[in-house]
Chain A
């Protein structure tokens, strides 16, 4: 570059520009066309577009927005859906900085930024104040809608802020775990727990869905902040059995988790377990005891059954200052949690620690006391100011197929109870389990372990009415059972127990089940009797459901309670001062029982203070 003499003709080179395409465009005659399509870039960060059907109202866009431009506003048209809230984002374009971080952190992927943008253009406006309406050109600000068809900025794999991948949970391998009853899942390390806690977007949809309405985002936040004690404290506000729920809860929270719409749900259950496993027992007892009110009320409450419903009610009642006594017919407290759930899912030590924390509040648990035999129901009512029935499902149901009463045909819940009480249970070389629920998986996996210990190999078949997709058991339970060598044969209806010439069980005759539920979702199995099969087996276990044992009540008392086919319909029964919680109210589920227990404690307290 040097300053030299310029040619005389140099200025004329400018004439070449006469033939250049103008750099400007004439709108609206022309539109920008530099991206292969008229209009702005194909990933333009223009005005927001939200698919209201896909939006779950989690509010993550609003939380992430760096300029606080997004407000979650109640939407009257929002559909009733437990996995969604009724709020939808509204964007203030005076604040929006068009960074699209809201799009990149949208768990449902409903939000995008379109190719629409605001611009000014000359347009005709009407001036109504004039006597004769006349039009004139004016510059108005309006969004362009010409490019609305193109998606604009959408979330991509690389731009996504969210973590759709669960932290891996260390657990025993199938061949290892089937050899015994050691707990399968090892629990999160600190790093894995923090990684998992970071995945939570703290929307709280899970809280609405959890029957106990646990403060899930809050305790996950406490875990993320390293405040383990605080997280346990938050859990005890709504659930006095967090370590148990951290292992075997049906985790309805995870089914609605915002992340689960496109990724793997946050491992809420494992995080809960991590918090409890990380807190020493004496500190947990101290945290649990913080619920205790200062003054004793002088009222006493008797609770029948020490399952989750009974324990939860006892904990919150004791916290309110009432004297609580639990009557348990089995030698140890815990109910089905102890005598139904196998130790490889829920070790006794966890249960003992949990119950010890509740007992530390002054709850008295009288084990080995059967109501109806050792103490009558009317005794209980006279002894206590209020009675809570948390008796759970004690009896196993039967299919009543031909030969169901033969020796060698068992009910799952009874076998499990016997085994967990330390009694010897029959284990044959070839077993058929009937049922597709979690109890079926529990007994199948228990028996498979015993077969392995006794005979060195697993030969066990699980059959059920439902198709593989409809099976009510948790998917992970089914998968783990299959890994352990259990064969699953869905869509069969048991017909009769086959016996050999010596009268010994030889198999189970089945026929094909085409459909379990009708169009309305009602249980009405449709069978094809011509398609039959006989599964060979020396032992048959029925795991098709459980029922409560009301034998301690007279018929009249049962009627007064307001039972409908053995089930209660409301927490407060027909008898004043008697409350019903747990399985007999909401069906078999620990977290429902805990929620009931909490509710019952409040109801009893209200009953006293009426």
Chain B
């Protein structure tokens, strides 16, 4: 069939009224989707016209379930809010509870919290960078990064007894001190990570395909990002120097130097580069933390934790996760269970309403990369 320049077959068909809009379900069935979440995309050909977020498939009622369990027992559920990066959840919740209790966490426990948070960030960023590579078709990079992530999980296993759901933090501190030689093994791992990074840079960040796919994709301005509640690497990618570890230090981040690298540009490429900068900074912070960790107890005495009572009041605690601000708003009526727990997930604004701005007009191929660049995680939305 002859087609004039600039016409695709589908456009022609559409003009002729022979090809209508159709709905495409971009959900858990798609390998580019992160878990149990979905977008119903109204498509014309391969182009998105309209998008409708379809949440609810994950729903386990995290927040409601927390109202029915004792304060400490909730820790078994909380890391499940974010699988790749569970520790910020634990720490944010514990900090909120500790704020209400007025309890002082021992310094060594604060350092261990920071160290696990940074390790968790590295693991999560590996998943993020590898996932981005996967979304762009670079499966080797993804697999290699998963191997590196596994090495981090080994360290978690040695410290906490579990690989994914660490359940390491508890109101008052952490559950166990680092076993002998653990900090040295983390240092050795950091050496290995730093030695490996140039290869991954070559594979991912110095790759023409990656640049071409990401450059100019889904740009946001600093103003827009702040108005929408975007935090973390996506905000720093707009050139804004914002990091909770510096702006409102928690755990042991006031004890060591923390820098805020920014990439700037605001598009998906800037966000991808920002993640890489965060990764390098995280390794540096980890080295400083390991060098400065003091001796001492790792848990404050709070009595029988099963019957822990938290004074009435409310507290909000926020933690800089690999994706942005993870916040826990906790209300206590003075009882043995929370009255209300509310989770602020970092990717909620992008996942729920920036999608309406960015996705229409986008090709279906870019949706997975777009999701990866904002690190959209279903439990942030569906909790």
Which A residues are closer than 8 A to B by beta carbons? 1-4, 6, 10, 13, 23, 34-35, 40-45, 60, 63-64, 66-67, 97-101, 104-105, 113, 152-153, 156, 158-159, 161-163, 195, 198-201, 224
Q: Is B254 at the interface (CB under 8 A from chain A)?
A: no
Kindly state the separation between the CA atoms of A13 and B198 in the bound complex, as whole angstroms.
Answer: 11
Residues B303 and A195 in contact, CB atoms below 8 Å apart: yes
Structural contact, B208 and A101, CB atoms closer than 8 A: no
Whether B297 lies near A66 (C-beta < 8 A) is no
Q: A3-B208, A3-B211, A161-B72 are in contact. List 5 more A-B contacts (CB 8 A).
A: A10-B202, A41-B161, A158-B176, A158-B299, A162-B304
Asked if B29 is at the interface of the complex by the 8 Å CB criterion, the answer is no
Q: Report if A1-B206 is in contact (Cβ < 8 Å); known contacts: A101-B76, A105-B306.
A: yes
A6 to B207, CA, bound (A): 9
Q: How far is the CA of A201 from the CA of B201 in the complex (A)?
A: 55
B179, B301, B308 interface centre (most CB from chain A within 10 Å): B179
Cα-based distance from A159 to B159 in the complex (angstroms): 13
Contacts of A195 in B (CB 8 A): 303
| B174: interface (CB < 8 Å) | yes
Chain A residue with the shortest CB-CB distance to B172: A158
Chain A residues closer than 8 Å to B305, beta-carbon distance: 105, 161
Q: Which of B70, B76, B150, B301 contacts A67 (CB 8 A)?
A: B76
* Most chain A beta-carbon contacts within 10 A, residue among B70, B167, B199: B167
Closest B residue by C-beta to A167: B303
B129 to chain A, nearest CB (A): 12
Bound-state Cα–Cα, A42 to B159, Å: 9
Top 6 nearest A-B pairs (CB, nearest first) are: A99-B76, A161-B305, A41-B157, A45-B161, A23-B147, A66-B73
What is the bound-complex CA distance between A104 and B73, given in angstroms? Answer: 11
Contact pick for B173, options A1, A156, A158, A224, CB 8 Å: A158
Map CB proximity to A onto B11-51 as digits: 1 under 8 Å, 0 otherwise: 00000000000000000000000000000000000000000
* A42–B76 CB distance below 8 A: no
B157-185 interface with A by 8 A CB criterion: 157-158, 160-162, 165, 167, 170, 173-177, 179
* Contact status B205-A98, CB under 8 Å: no
Closest Cβ of chain B: how far from A112's Cβ, in Å? 11
- Which of B76, B162, B167, B201 has the most C-beta atoms of chain A within 10 angstroms of its own C-beta? B162
B304–A201 CB distance below 8 A? yes
Which chain B residues lie closer than 8 Å to A198 at the CB level?
303-304, 307-309
Which residues on A sit within 8 Å (CB–CB) of B167? 99-100
The answer to whether A45 and B162 have CB atoms under 8 Å apart is: yes
Complex contacts, A152 vs chain B, CB 8 Å: 161
Give CA–CA (A354, B334) in the complex, Å.
34
- Can you identify 24 A-B contacts, CB atoms within 8 angstroms? A1-B205, A1-B273, A3-B208, A13-B199, A23-B150, A34-B158, A41-B161, A43-B161, A44-B157, A63-B306, A64-B70, A64-B73, A66-B74, A98-B162, A99-B76, A101-B72, A101-B75, A113-B161, A152-B161, A153-B161, A158-B176, A158-B177, A163-B301, A200-B307
Instruction: Tell whether B323 is near chain A: CB-to-CB under 8 Å.
Output: no
Which residue from A3, A40, A156, A199 sits with its C-beta under 8 Å from B303?
A199
B220 to chain A, nearest CB (A): 21
CB neighbours of B176 from chain A (8 A): 43, 156, 158-159
Question: Does the CB pair A101–B297 fall under 8 Å?
Answer: no
A13 to B309, CA, bound (A): 59
Contact A41 B158 (CB under 8 A): yes
Least distance between B294 CB and chain A CB atoms (Å): 15
With most chain A CB atoms within 10 A of its CB, the pick from B160, B205, B297 is: B160
Residue of B with least CB distance to A34 = B154
B146 CB to nearest chain A CB (Å): 9
B377 lies within 8 A of chain A by Cβ: no
Query: How far is B75's CA from A195's CA once the two chains are assembled, in angstroms?
Result: 23
User: Within the assembled complex, what's the spacing in Å between the Cα atoms of A426 and B72?
Assistant: 61
List B contacts of A44 (CB < 8 A).
157, 161-162
CA distance A42 to B160 in the complex (A): 10
Q: Which residue of B lies closest to A45 (CB)?
A: B161
Residues of A within 8 A of B301 (CB): 163
Q: Are B306 and A43 in contact (CB under 8 A)?
A: no
Residues of chain A within 8 A of B306, CB atoms compared: 60, 63-64, 105, 161, 201
- Verify A66–B76 contact, CB threshold 8 A: yes
Chain B residues numbered 339-363 whose CB sits less than 8 Å from any CB in chain A: none
B297 touches A158 (CB 8 A): yes
The answer to whether B304 and A42 have CB atoms under 8 Å apart is: no
Q: What's the Cα separation between A40 and B157 when bound, in Å? A: 8
Residues of the A chain whose Cβ atoms lie less than 8 Å from the Cβ of B75: 99, 101
Alpha-carbon distance A318/B129, docked complex (angstroms)? 80
- Residues B307 and A224 in contact, CB atoms below 8 Å apart: yes
Bound Cα distance from A224 to B177, whole angstroms: 31
Q: B77 at the A/B interface (Cβ < 8 Å)? A: yes
B135 within 8 Å of A by Cβ?
Answer: no
Q: Which residues of A have CB within 8 Å of B211?
A: 3
Task: Give the contacting residue for B201; candidates A1, A64, A97, A199; CB below 8 A.
Answer: A1
B92-126 at interface with A (beta carbon < 8 Å):
none
B174→A158 contact, CB < 8 A = yes
Smallest CB separation, B208 vs chain A (Å): 6
How would residues 62 to 77 of chain B score, 1 for a CB under 8 Å from any chain A CB and 0 otherwise? 0000000110111111
Q: Are A161 and B304 in contact (CB under 8 A)?
A: yes
Bound CA–CA A226/B273 (angstroms): 57
The answer to whether A163 and B303 touch across the interface, beta carbons within 8 angstroms, is yes
Please indicate the chain A residues that have their CB under 8 angstroms from the CB of B201 in the complex: 1
Q: Are A42 and B179 in contact (CB under 8 A)?
A: yes
Bound-state CA distance A45–B79 (Å) is: 16
Contacts of A158 in B (CB 8 A): 173-177, 297-299
Residues in B whose Cβ lies below 8 Å from that of A99:
75-76, 165, 167
CB distance from A513 to the nearest CB of B (A): 44
Residue in chain B with minimal CB distance to A159? B175
Question: Is B276 interfacial (CB 8 A cutoff)?
Answer: yes
Q: For the complex, what is the distance from the CA of A104 to the CA of B202, rounded to whole Å?
A: 47
On whether A4 and B303 interact (CB within 8 A), knowing A97-B76, A99-B167, the answer reads no
Q: Within the assembled complex, what's the spacing in Å between the Cα atoms of A194 and B150?
A: 45
Q: Name which residue of chain B comes closest to A60, CB basis.
A: B306
Which residues of B136-164 are within 8 A (CB) of A? Answer: 147, 150, 154, 157-158, 160-162
Given contacts A6-B206, A41-B157, A158-B174, contact A163 B304 (CB under 8 A): yes
Contact indicator per residue, chain B 292-334, by CB within 8 Å of chain A (1) or not (0): 0000011101011111110000000000000000000000000
User: What's the minimum C-beta distance from B161 to chain A, rounded to whole angstroms?
Assistant: 4
For B211, the closest partner residue in chain A by CB is A3
Nearest A residue (CB) for B75: A99
User: How close is B378's CB to chain A, nearest CB, in angstroms?
Assistant: 19
| Minimum CB distance partner of A161 in chain B | B305
| A103 nearest CB neighbor, chain B only | B161
A159 CB to nearest B CB, Å: 4
* Smallest CB separation, A514 vs chain B (Å): 45
The chain A residue sitting closest to B168, CB to CB, is A159
Alpha-carbon separation in the docked complex, A97 to B60 (Å): 15
B50 to chain A, nearest CB (A): 34
A333 to B47, CA, bound (A): 96
Cα distance A105–B73 in the bound complex, in angstroms: 11
Q: What distance in Å separates the Cβ of B64 from its nearest Cβ neighbour in chain A?
A: 14
| Measured CA separation A199–B299 after assembly (Å) | 17
Query: Which A residues are CB-close (under 8 A) to B309?
Result: 198
Q: Which residues of A contact B74 (CB under 8 A)?
A: 66
A42 and B73 contact, Cβ closer than 8 Å, known pairs A158-B297, A224-B307: no
Is A4's CB under 8 angstroms from B161's CB?
no
Q: Which of A4, A41, A60 contacts B206 (CB 8 A)?
A: A4
Which A residue's beta carbon lies closest to that of B335?
A: A225
A406 to nearest B CB, angstroms? 57
Residue of A13, A60, A97 touching B202 (CB-CB under 8 A) = A13
Give the nearest-CB partner of B158 in chain A.
A41
| Nearest-CB residue, chain A, relative to B308 | A198
Shortest distance between the CB of A329 and any CB in chain B (Å): 48
Q: Which residues of B contact A4 (CB under 8 A)?
A: 206
Chain A residues lying within 8 Å of B303, measured Cβ to Cβ, are 163, 195, 198-199
Asked whether, in the complex, the Cβ of A101 is within 8 Å of the Cβ of B304, the reply is no
